[in-house]
């Protein structure tokens, strides 16, 4: 997660950013609005893969935002669980195509 946060810190503009990490046992969602950070996590299971878009939408609603407020998305591209990575990348690419939201990939390498 620190790689994505570092990318955001290096950006001089303050934007509303979403971080999605589904590469481990948990699905982590992070919303950065100005200098506020909101987080949530969910079990990384097949049932949550099927409803990841709904989890993201509910997470944004809980924090008084919508996908239209997001200016950039950061997504973990691995290494990790292939199904979670594939699913989150597909969703982010869908947001990019439909909403024109910029996205960036990050990874944790040892």
Q: Among the residues of the chain, which ranges form H helices? A: 2-10, 46-50, 52-62, 82-99
The mean of the pLDDT values for the chain is 87
pLDDT digits (tens, 9 = 90+) for 95-108: 999 999 999 999 87
Instruction: Write the DSSP symbol of residue 12.
Output: S
pLDDT digits (tens, 9 = 90+) for 36-95: 999 999 988 877 778 999 999 999 999 999 999 999 999 999 888 888 899 999 999 999
Nearest to 81 by CA among 21, 41, 32, 8: 21
Taking residues 3-18, what's their average pLDDT? 65
Evaluate whether 52 touches 68 at the Cβ level (below 8 Å): no
pLDDT band at 6 (very low <50, low <70, confident <90, very high): low
């Amino acid at each position: 997660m620190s790689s994505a946060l570092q990318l955001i810190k290096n950006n001089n503009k303050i934007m509303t950013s979403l971080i999605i990490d589904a590469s481990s046992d948990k699905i982590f969602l992070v919303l950065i609005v100005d200098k506020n950070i909101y987080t949530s996590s969910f079990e990384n299971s097949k049932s949550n893969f099927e409803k990841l878009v709904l989890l993201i939408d509910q997470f944004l609603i809980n924090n008084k935002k919508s996908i239209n407020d997001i200016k950039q998305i950061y997504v973990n591209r691995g290494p990790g669980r292939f199904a979670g990575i594939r699913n989150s990348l597909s969703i982010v690419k869908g947001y990019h195509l439909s909403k024109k939201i910029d996205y960036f990939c990050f990874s944790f390498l040892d």
